[in-house]
A and B are shown apart, each in its own frame.
Chain A
């Protein structure tokens, strides 16, 4: 025979359990405003599932941080505000957009007279961009990623004078995916957002699917 107190306890326990169930159910199954699928949320038969940017309704929908290069103003905080040293943000070279210029706005400091690899001519503070002759008059530029600190100096130069093929991106092999990204908090242009882990890059200005290689870890 339960006492009155035990009975009340059971009652409250039941209602807490029901409340938690309702809360999690609502959070799992709700449909957000922006999550409109032209199909029927059944991704298996969807013809467009490969280039769908929506988070999948009932998969684990992991999210990762990414920065949108079209909103980035290259303030340099990516290099300083990440919890990692050096930052998880690195410059990514989209070769498909590159003009292979001899006078590269991302490689040389403005006003450089002699276009060679001398340190005083380079915009990059860590010598992370490698310049290689391809054929007259074209040069290939490669990012030496371990050296890159994500300061965005080259990105600024390239988007001001070139094609914008150098873009900052969060590198997911380095990012520890903090619950609240400390760069996102201090990003002056709000370029950081959470994107689905199944589609974790935000490179701009070209068709991603054709020109990049995804490497699985």
Chain B
């Protein structure tokens, strides 16, 4: 393609005409990006202090409102920790992709805070969570079975997002981001409907995006299980009053399992054998299915699509030529080059399909295993993985102070 040819020479003006300069506005100053990271760290510190030390639901509420306004409506949602998964993945697979330090910070810092304090990020820093928390007026219990089934979706979403980011195809988390259009007041019709469905169903099913879609929540869930500290329902000993039982809108309170050994040894061994056979089988079956689907999965990749269009021209049947084909023709690229690029991407999708399918199968097996094996514990405790540290349950506990500590001070 010929571009920018000097067909007409620059005129020599005689009237003293001064040629104006072309204005090129600069992007947002880099110092402001550093400020975003500073505010992220500050917000995480404050929310962790509110949750763990102050144990105040009101504090969590005001903090989440601040984050909704700053990270949501002021910063307009980009870059967020959820989306940063894709940037990190792409950077790991594509060495020419340059990763800004702020993106690394937005990915790593909430994970580190979660590792020490539980998912306080979800409680009061993530604007998505804050928005949904505001509308959770009439939360209903879903039941553990439905929770487990729907809870599988984020793993699939995470796997797909990583596959598409690693192959340089698309950032699907950003593409199907329901709330960024609300933060910017310019959602497309489809996304507006999606956000509407989430927010209206969010009145009854609290935080539907966080629980049944959020891919970053998967990572936070894993990390939070090993957190050093975590919000507790009671400041001292649980008195088994059952007042907090229905307080959690997210079904994240584990009720006591008091029978220590509900079944005899024989059944238990049988179960363990079942699980140890089931998990490898599901992993392999998932991987095999994923690899069979790799051509379907790769269908959305623009390079693969272009190669298909070159191979089977649709223009012959009276249809207009696609813009991608027009662009390819004007670029003067050889068809072989496009084919080799496309087949390389298909190879990646084949391997990625195995890994993605295997991962989904493994998660399936894991969820089944977790439900088969009961874990003995006596108290009402927040499930460290699923709890968003919103501190609602704290107000339901009649035990207000740790009596043992007071005694300790007196002596």
* Residue from B6, B25, B80 within 8 A of A172 (CB atoms): B25
Within 8 A of A (CB), among B19-37: 19-30, 33-34
* Residue from B10, B13, B19, B102 within 8 A of A62 (CB atoms): B102
Q: When A32-B98, A185-B170, A194-B98 are in contact, do A101 and B25 touch as well, CB less than 8 Å?
A: no
Q: When A62-B33, A83-B184, A179-B79 are in contact, do A69 and B3 touch as well, CB less than 8 Å?
A: yes
A12-B226, A34-B95, A201-B24 given. 12 additional CB < 8 A pairs? A20-B115, A30-B95, A60-B34, A71-B327, A172-B26, A172-B27, A177-B28, A179-B80, A180-B174, A188-B323, A203-B22, A216-B26
Q: When A12-B226, A55-B98, A83-B186 are in contact, do A213 and B76 touch as well, CB less than 8 Å?
A: no
Q: Is B78 a contact of A177 with CB atoms below 8 Å?
A: yes
Question: CB of B228 within 8 A of chain A?
Answer: yes
- Kindly specify which of B82-90, B120-128, B251-259, B271-279 makes contact with the partner chain: B82-90
Closest chain B residue to A204 by CB distance?
A: B4
Q: When A205-B4, A213-B22 are in contact, do A138 and B13 touch as well, CB less than 8 Å?
A: yes
Question: CB of B317 within 8 A of chain A?
Answer: no
Determine how close the nearest CB of chain A comes to the CB of B32; give it in whole angstroms. Answer: 10
Residues of A within 8 A of B (CB): 9, 12-13, 16-17, 20, 23-24, 27-28, 30, 32-35, 55, 59-64, 69-71, 73, 75, 77, 83-85, 92-101, 134-135, 138, 140, 142, 159, 161-165, 169, 171-173, 175-180, 182, 185, 188-190, 194, 196-198, 200-201, 203-206, 211-217
* Residue from A34, A73, A92, A138 within 8 A of B327 (CB atoms): A73
Question: CB of B7 within 8 A of chain A?
Answer: yes
Q: In the complex, which residues of chain A have a beta carbon less than 8 angstroms from the beta carbon of B11?
A: 99-100, 138
Q: When A101-B8, A204-B3 are in contact, do A20 and B15 touch as well, CB less than 8 Å?
A: no
Q: In the complex, which residues of chain B have a beta carbon less than 8 angstroms from the beta carbon of A93?
A: 22
Q: Is A75 a contact of B171 with CB atoms below 8 Å?
A: no
Q: In the complex, which residues of chain A have a beta carbon less than 8 angstroms from the beta carbon of B102?
A: 60, 62
Determine how close the nearest CB of chain B comes to the CB of A80; give it in whole angstroms. Answer: 11
Q: In the complex, which residues of chain B have a beta carbon less than 8 angstroms from the beta carbon of A96?
A: 10, 19, 22
Complex CA–CA separation, A73 to B111 (angstroms):
43
Question: CB of B148 within 8 A of chain A?
Answer: no
Question: CB of B9 within 8 A of chain A?
Answer: yes
* Residue from A71, A163, A215 within 8 A of B331 (CB atoms): A71
Determine how close the nearest CB of chain A comes to the CB of B130; give it in whole angstroms. Answer: 19
Residue from A73, A178, A179, A214 having most chain B Cβ neighbours under 10 A: A179
Closest chain A residue to B330 by CB distance?
A: A73
Q: Is A213 a contact of B21 with CB atoms below 8 Å?
A: yes
Question: CB of B299 within 8 A of chain A?
Answer: no
Question: CB of B14 within 8 A of chain A?
Answer: yes
Complex CA–CA separation, A35 to B95 (angstroms):
9
Q: Is B100 a contact of A176 with CB atoms below 8 Å?
A: no
Q: In the complex, which residues of chain A have a beta carbon less than 8 angstroms from the beta carbon of B97?
A: 32, 194
Determine how close the nearest CB of chain A comes to the CB of B332; give it in whole angstroms. Answer: 11
Question: CB of B335 within 8 A of chain A?
Answer: no
5 smallest beta-carbon distances between A and B, as pairs: A99-B8, A205-B4, A189-B327, A164-B4, A180-B171
Q: Is A73 a contact of B326 with CB atoms below 8 Å?
A: yes
Q: Is A13 a contact of B226 with CB atoms below 8 Å?
A: yes
